[in-house]
Structure 1
């Protein structure tokens, strides 16, 4: 539950921070005074912050991933293992019809890997030292195929678009309802100054509530894309190898060391039960294995 709470807070905190900054800097008041108080103006305002924040995060994703995991990009392979790793990624990338990604290794005990990047031809694929030590090469090849599948499917961009649209709707809906609440509390006063305390508090609370529902939608897409990436890994490295890699991942123990902002991009997710499943970024490994076995 702690991981889920931290993940949600990471996503929702951006919206809350925007709300506070806008209030302190008087952006809401400025929007009203410049005729942006109507629905169209409010939509534009929400889209700038909602979509803008998501695409800034995507543009910085490779840099953030390297910094947060301490990943070392292989520019010149230092041994046969690194050479094999780079060659395997290159082979999968060519088969998938994308540009050669940067290949990196990061120090972590658990078996994991991730892919990120703003475009299909400018991506990063990174694997943990634990994965390289605990999987055979057929299994590692399948994991690399899975990550290349994410890149080829455009999952990072699609996830960003979905998050951006939902952020926009959250900002818009929170402010529309916030105005209604503020108007009711003030007896119908026309809040041309950007609204009173009722507006400010309502917007913050509603962004938190609406943000929770938005996170459920984002996580539902995240789970669906994992099945597609597993299929890509099976096509690139062989179905048996992909199934074997997922079965090996079941031996992972303890919490992932991937930063919370990168958790959804790893090949392995956390386990959850009941209501918590709505906030899982990955389907259970049993379900993923069963989907591959069904063909």
Structure 2
């Protein structure tokens, strides 16, 4: 009976302040949708980094005839220089870091280039202009600096490149987009908190006579405050549910229905397992913020 009375009072307050409640629901929905999008974006960045870190290679480019690096003053890398690099890769210092490596001669690289560019380039490009290349897969891609230090300044080596560096601008752009989404979400959550507090105060003002009578008959502050807190929680729950539908639609239609088919070089995308983590987080954020905001507002009003 006591629970039914409290719930009835909360629902009655929601009906009395329907326009404000709708505003709270919409602001909560938009803000939590941005929060969910930001979380999913960070998850996607993490998946992409893990995927490419496992496949990215460190390339050691040997000198070609057109190389201008100081270590290439002798022209095309000699077989002795290539053997010296091979010896280092298989030596006790570097071999524990390396999962596997392959070596592509300048002739092999030349054939690939002609296949891609067309036979008309055979008279323009010669094999000695193409770098012979060691392609190295590391056990831990974060150790790529060790390879760079080992071969930096080595005679016959033009440069050392970590292929993962080519993807860093993409990861940086996605991270900036995440920060923007978090910033917008933070502003919207502040607006939602203020709206909830305003709604609760208006509801308390509209029922000030009832609250006065309840105080006179000895009702506890907790009994008086609970319906108002539930009003904020109910409104936030509706907004959280809508935000959950929004992030689900983003994954279902935006990722599975659109991006997977058009961006084929990315094979790992956020999925329903990630949604199972994000949706409870959104609901908890909405409920906790609403409860705290409503509780603070009604306590201040009762003390006034």
Higher RCO (CA 8 Å, separation ≥ 6 residues): 2
Whether TM-score is above 0.5 comes out as no
**Which is helix-richer, 1 or 2?**
2
Please give the TM-score of this superposition, normalised by the length of structure 1: 0.30
Please give the TM-score of this superposition, normalised by the length of structure 2: 0.30
